[in-house]
Structure 1
């Protein structure tokens, strides 16, 4: 159990990078609301690929407990596939982009929640994993329910979600980093 906490705290930076990428994407979507669909597709593709690669690298390098590693790998691969799909078919309609982003958010959110529950069974009790997984699922469901939203509302909704999601990841990274420093100071690392 202690090894799992040490491995998780060693990869705190991956959450920080994913969070920063999400916040940057969100800010661009909010303050540049009249961007073309092509630009939105490219920005989403960059976000999804960066997030997927970092998640995959963290899982392969041992940032997750063994029983949640397959979920983290699946989440990373899904992010890369979604980003590459957005780049390969940039001419997709607004509705198709909305469905792609909604599906990505729901699947990634569910995998994060499952991974959090697996972590809990290994002794970790970090609630932020569940929070950002739940935010992703909620966002995806809302996008499935209201697909007729205008492009402006869509970019703002995506931007707000990305900022909130990225903020949750940054808080998680900060907390994990703090646990790592406590562990280095001689106290047993424990993610609470």
Structure 2
């Protein structure tokens, strides 16, 4: 079926239902406002924990990361076994799966090490991007914002050096940032949920009971 034909079919279905796709989506979200509210509450809860008890939040993130590595490692080993049965290349798949499985076990038994590893990886990223931004700034004309690009590179380098020098403090700061984001995100979802509920109530008002004859 061509794109024009599929578009005509979608338009005909939309016309027959008497609502545009945007209206249909709005109605669906309004009927399920409670699910969005639950997501908002969960985000708010996690954000408050991250802000008030950053150590517990860091360990929780490390355990979640460990679970992901364990699952990914198992799936990688299964993929390697299936590839071996079909006489395909399986060595790299098996090596990757075993490595992820071992890293997952280490992160599960030593979650603090997983947190430090994440912080150091973030530091390496900040140093690398900062260096690249500085190198690009020297090739940029002054009129095109060379100073601002250089400033961004310097800030990124400073952030990476700070993380390397004080990884635990960097982990706490990252957790606070994540907590602030989660609180703002959860609040936005809650506002959205209650607005959707209001629209749902307006679209389907409660009818008064019939008067007695």
**TM-score of the two chains, using structure 2 as the length reference:** 0.38
The structure that is helix-richer by fraction is 2
Larger radius of gyration: 2
**TM-score of the two chains, using structure 1 as the length reference:** 0.41
